[in-house]
Chains A and B, each alone.
Chain A
Amino acid sequence: MSAEPLLELCSVYKSYDQPVLRGIDLTVRAGEFVTLLGPSGCGKTTILRIIAGLLAPDRGQVRLGGRDITAAPPEKRDVNTVFQSYALFPHMTVAQNVAYALKLRGVDRRQIDARVTRMLALVQMTGSEKKKPDQLSGGQRQRIAIARALIAEPKVLLLDEPLGALDLQLRRQMQLELKKLQQELGTSFVYVTHDQEEAINMSDRIVVLRAGRIEQQGTPDEIYDRPRTGYVATFIGSANLLAGQCDGRGLAAHPAGAMVCPADLPAGPVTLAVRGENILLHTQAPQGPSLAGRVASKRFLGGQLRVEVALTGGDRVVLLRQGIRLEAETGSPVWLSWPASAAVAVQTEGEAPAGEAGR
């Protein structure tokens, strides 16, 4: 991965009746797999369409390989898209669909055939050349859509929630295949999804979007371990947000007791995000800082034990454990603590940002 940005969005704004994008600054480097993650309506698809040229920004620039392409029409951009609905041309065969981009560029017949064959092999669809899209299953169509978009070797491939229409099993399989494909080809991928699982499994970098703005971006580790806002913390994985008063020396006061927090945090009100799998449960009050409460419920969900604890003072905390046994009964008093590294200070609505600045 070179350090030179391949694709840049600078201060991109877009509104319809309401603002959709409020100042997006994004860079994608060569060979990177970047995911735009966020709920519907956050603007991620809009960003994609602006990159592709299907939509013009109200303000801002799009640069590819250093060149300003903001005004360039989609056919002149070295960027290709895999559409959510696949958009395979129904009146063309698979081979014709895949070959289309090359045909437009005037590549000669034999070269086209060779490259189409290679591409189909790459997406494991060899032998389907003469079929029509309506004869393929959803997963198969998706592969053809990918093949069609990659054959012209674009600098960046845009993918708009491509796995959304597939069933779980197939989705998981495709996640692996897509990642492999990207690494093999070395093409930059900009991937749009609302599914955090996909984002974490495939991305080199995740950009979390919210209401038209970038909330945070970083590697999956960074996003997961060091969320900067409550939104990011709860969007990926499950996190508990606890408000307390920090004393500036690694401890924060809470109605239910005391919490360990990052040592470098200044004194003052703070919201800590702690992931359920990092919380330790004690059946007796431990030595260090802890929060007291009662076990409210325990449920086996998604392969893990989900324990809900009602803290003194009203807050509820969710713990995640392996296995199905819990050492405490429902209703019995328990104490919760966690290692210092597990707590991250996050910004919630209206608060000043906490933690490291910069991207």
Chain B
Amino acid sequence: MARKPRLPARLYLILVVVLTYLPIAVVVLFSFNSSKLPVAWKGFTLDWYRQLFRDRALMQALGNSLLLGVASSFFAAVIGTLGAMGMVRVHYRSKGMMEYLSTLPIMLPEIILGMVFMAFFALLRLPFGWTTLILAHTAFSIPYVYLMVKARLSGIDRSLEEAARDLGAGPARTFFDITLPLIVPAVLSGSLLAFAMSFDDVVISIFVTGPTLSTLPIKVYTHLKTGVTPEINALCTVILGVVVLVLTLSFLLRTRREGSHPSNKEEVP
């Protein structure tokens, strides 16, 4: 086996990680800073958080983002899981092309996606607002669930389902007793990932949202461009907290439930 990395190598890892967390730490730190300007430390305060929660518009945007995230990741979960199951079993020749198309949203630069969705929705005369937001978010969320479930499915021994059939379970029963429990971690992981991506999305949301509907990242972005208020630090810290929570959950889910059947392809929590 490979030799365990020596101290200098480990230090390098730590260094990079520290650098990575530096800007985040800065934001979190200053959210508790009683000075208005993020220049020097003046004292601990929770004022900005209080101000944040009183800011109606921001809270509204937060609620929108959460709802949007849940809705789009749910639809993505259903469509993506069904799709992954279909793809693994079936051998149409159009399979490759369809898979390519389905995963296109995560491969194209967001600016293009945003533009393209906007143009298309306008063509279809869809109302710009919740409808278009959910559609667009679902579209770019599907690949995450699809790829995760597909990876998990192909790692499952086919003979497990055959054994269930052999012992007397019909196709539906086999799915619920055997297949589903085994892919649930992947579905959940993928959904959580999709949620995180949706929650974070700025570019596409800007393009497809309606005039009155705002998501949290959009609000943050506009604030950053027009003028920074200290509330933003608090807001960012809150968002950070949510993402950390969601990710840690996803991570725990994956390492706990499939301790016995890790698939080589799964490296990401």
- A residues sitting closer than 8 Å to B (CB atoms) are 52-54, 73-75, 79-81, 83-85, 87, 89-91, 100-101, 104-105, 132-134, 148-149, 152
Contacts and interface: CB of A to CB of B under 8 A. Distances in A.
B28 interface: no
18 contacts: A52-B166, A53-B166, A75-B168, A75-B170, A80-B167, A81-B162, A81-B166, A83-B159, A83-B162, A85-B157, A85-B159, A87-B159, A87-B160, A89-B163, A100-B164, A104-B173, A148-B167, A152-B167
| Ranked 8 nearest A-B pairs via Cβ | A134-B260, A87-B163, A87-B159, A101-B167, A104-B168, A74-B165, A81-B166, A75-B168
Given A90-B261, A91-B181, A91-B182, A101 B168 contact: yes
A104 B169 contact: yes
A74 B166 contact: yes
B169 A75 contact: yes
Contacts of A52: 166
Interface in B96-124: none
From B159, B167, B168, B170, residue with most partner A Cβ within 10 Å: B167
Contacts of A73: 165, 170
Interface in B175-233: 177-178, 181-182
Contacts, number: 66
Interface of B: 157, 159-160, 162-170, 173, 177-178, 181-182, 259-261
Nearest to A76: B168
B162 A54 contact: yes
Nearest to B167: A101
A87 B162 CA distance: 9
B170 to A, nearest CB: 5
Nearest to B261: A90
A146 to B, nearest CB: 12
A64 to B, nearest CB: 14
Contacts of A53: 165-166
Nearest to B180: A91
A75 B162 contact: no
B84 to A, nearest CB: 19
A90 B165 contact: no
A90 B182 CA distance: 8
A100 B163 CA distance: 10
B167 A149 contact: yes
A89 B180 CA distance: 12
A87 B157 contact: yes
B178 A89 contact: yes
B165 A54 contact: yes
A80 to B, nearest CB: 6
Chain B CB count within 10 A is highest, among A54, A74, A80, A81, for A74
Contacts of B165: 53-54, 73-75
A167 B131 CA distance: 62
Contacts of B178: 89
A4 B34 CA distance: 93
Best-buried of A52, A84, A89, A133 by chain B (most CB within 10 Å)? A89
A149 B165 CA distance: 12
Nearest to A132: B260
Contacts of A152: 167-168
Nearest to A81: B166
A151 to B, nearest CB: 9
Nearest to B158: A87
B163 to A, nearest CB: 4
A73 B169 CA distance: 10
A91 B156 CA distance: 12
B165 to A, nearest CB: 4
Nearest to B260: A134
A128 to B, nearest CB: 15
Nearest to A133: B260
A176 B261 CA distance: 32
A104 B162 contact: no
A79 B181 CA distance: 26
B160 A89 contact: yes
A243 B160 CA distance: 50
A149 B164 CA distance: 10
Given A90-B182, A149-B167, A74 B160 contact: no
A67 B168 CA distance: 18
Nearest to B160: A87
A269 to B, nearest CB: 48
Nearest to A83: B159
Contacts of B260: 90, 132-134
Name the residue among B168, B170, B181, B260 with the largest chain A CB count within 10 angstroms. Answer: B168
